[in-house]
Chains A and B, each alone.
Chain A
Amino acid sequence: MEAILAVIIILMIAGSIYTLHARDLLSAVISYGITGFGLVICFLLLKAPDLAIAQLVVEIITLIIMIAVIRISTRKDLTEKTTIRVEGERYVNLRSVVYFVTGGVFILGFLYFFIQATSVLDPFGVHSVRMASVYIEQGVDLTGAHNLVAGVLFDFRAFDTLGEATILITAVIGVLTVLRLKGKK
């Protein structure tokens, strides 16, 4: 189980690295699909079928929207070369050096603190249910729903769902405002 998940996550990492390094924006978006569909398989293996259905369709719609954006703009990427050529001689591009050093410092710092923090967590596969023990033991009696996720989502933590609906409609209104057809005169 752990080995299969590790292989899938390594595949997702490879896909995302290619996403960031592709010269063509269309191939970058399509290889971004590797990450999303790998996530669907991970959800299925981790016993979360609700999430797998939602993530599958959301991934497809995201891909369609991104391709629509790239079709009406340009496909050319702006990746900078690490060496520049001035009058026949090669020089190292100082700006890319600054980029990579900044990224490396951030990444090493975050990785250090994450490894410090993971030592507190339970190891994979052993999970001590603290918050959700009431939901698991008495969820069916209290809500009457056989799907415990629906019970948590719409009964125990319904305020969270209300906030989610508010955020969703706000984002849609924001998209319509930004993409308004005729500007105000």
Chain B
Amino acid sequence: MILYILCFILFLVGLFGAITRRNVIKIVLGICIMEYSLNLLLILIGYMEDGVSPIVVKGGESNFVDPLPQAMVITVIVIGLATTAMLLAIAIRLYKKHGTFDIRQIKNLKG
């Protein structure tokens, strides 16, 4: 139970960063930290004591850890890189247009 709460504290650190920072790059980093903690939470839930990794070696084993969260998370990891690249591309366009990463000065929607 303590592991779940620690993992959620990691999520909260990312959320705090995404709310309170002014720099666009810091906001992107906060969102990435939230995504990592979600992956970790899914894998923690699927773990079983004395389990083996879900690959049949000889046949006849049955104490596998749950393969379903692993199959979900492995897609999330690859999508996470693509969305991070998308966020960084938008951030760098903002920098080229406005000359700063400060979200308080990037507020004119005209033109």
Q: How far is the CB of A130 from chain B (nearest CB, A)?
A: 9
> In the assembled complex, which residues on chain A have CB atoms less than 8 Å from the CB atom of B77?
51, 54-55, 58
A residues near B73, Cβ cutoff 8 Å: 48, 51
Write the A1-37 contact mask toward B (1 if CB under 8 angstroms, else 0).
1100110011011001101100001001100100110
| Given A48-B53, A70-B25, A115-B5: A149 in contact with B70 (beta carbons within 8 A) | yes
CA separation between A79 and B12, bound complex, in Å?
19
How many cross-chain pairs have Cβ atoms below 8 Å apart between A and B? 240
Contact with A along B1-44 (1 / 0, CB 8 A): 11111111111111111011111011001101100100110011
What is the interface size of chain B, counting residues whose CB is below 8 A from a CB of the partner?
A: 78
User: Can you offer 27 A-B residue contacts whose CB atoms are under 8 A?
Assistant: A9-B7, A9-B10, A13-B6, A16-B33, A20-B26, A29-B25, A32-B29, A32-B33, A35-B33, A42-B43, A43-B43, A47-B51, A48-B65, A58-B81, A66-B25, A66-B88, A69-B91, A74-B100, A78-B102, A103-B16, A103-B20, A127-B45, A148-B54, A149-B70, A161-B75, A171-B83, A179-B92
Q: Which 5 A-B pairs have the closest CB atoms?
A: A171-B82, A125-B49, A148-B54, A20-B17, A164-B75
Which positions in B face A, CB cutoff 8 Å? 1-17, 19-23, 25-26, 29-30, 32-33, 36, 39-40, 43-49, 51-57, 59, 62, 64-68, 70-75, 77-86, 88-93, 95, 100-102
